[in-house]
Chains A and B, each alone.
Chain A
Amino acid sequence: MARTTSRPLSPHLTIWKWGPHMAISILHRVTGNGLATVGVMGVVWWLMAAAIGPEAYASFIHCATSPLGYLVMVGISWFFFQHMMSGIRHWVLDLGAGYELNTNKRWALVIPFLSTLATVALWAFIFAGKF
């Protein structure tokens, strides 16, 4: 098909002003793929280490409780809460609800706040309760 090149190309990401709905959408994909790789491999490593024996488990714990290990675990827990809450938002959107501009924007802004709160609460509980 012939296309007049002077006309704007649409739909195209670069011509749209960034909004919270776009940020939370790409964040859902980023967090999902982060969990699918780093998060899941961490859990499988933990299970494998426990199945292999005390030495393997000790080296897992050594890595997991290093500064980098804590950074990854805190990051992955935020990824999980963000993906979980954003996923619940997707259930609502799948039902055909929540597309009104203000409602959509509000939830797109509230969810990162809630997921951060959940992450802080989890780690506060872990450090206050156990150590």
Chain B
Amino acid sequence: MGTGTGIGRVRGLGSVRHGAGHWLTHRYTSVSNLLLVLWLIFSLVSLPGLDYESVRNWIANPLVAVPLMLMLVSVFWHLRLGMQVMLEDYVHDKGLNFFAILLLNFYTIAGAAAGIFAIAKIALTGVVK
């Protein structure tokens, strides 16, 4: 750490006025996760079966596709924040930490995109005849 200006001493050391935002968003997404994942579990166990046609027809309903997409956004957002904290705690090497968080960002965006695209495809191509 240098002995230069105030900004020079703190630069690169972590959050500047957005640490609370990270923490709060983690809590907000925990509320939406609780609602949406419990909804998914209750829905899955009350479906007549989990075979291809039942699942396709279920996801094709807009009242299912939308909450399912919201669930993926909420879950991936929440895990992105949580895993960042875990990496910051355990990966001490600065370069390695940067690389790990880069991979985490790729994982989050790619995973959420794959899941949301899958739901959209099913929802927009309609039920199985």
Contact = CB atoms under 8 A, between A and B. Distances in A.
Interface residues of B, number: 30
Interface of A: 29, 32-33, 35-36, 40-41, 43-44, 47-48, 50-51, 54, 57-58, 61, 80, 84, 87-88, 90-91, 94, 122, 125-126, 129-130
Interface string B92-124: 000000000000000000010011011101100
B64 to A, nearest CB: 12
A47 B115 contact: yes
Interface of B: 27, 30, 34, 37-38, 41, 45, 49-52, 55-56, 59, 68, 72, 75-76, 79, 82-83, 86, 111, 114-115, 117-119, 121-122
Interface of A, secondary structure class, is helix
A87 B52 contact: no
B79 A32 contact: yes
B122 A44 contact: no
Contacts of B75: 40
Contacts of A33: 82-83, 86
A48 B37 CA distance: 18
Contacts of A58: 52
For the complex of A and B, list the 7 residue pairs with the smallest distance between their C-beta atoms, beginning with the closest: A36-B79, A51-B118, A47-B118, A44-B115, A51-B121, A57-B52, A48-B118
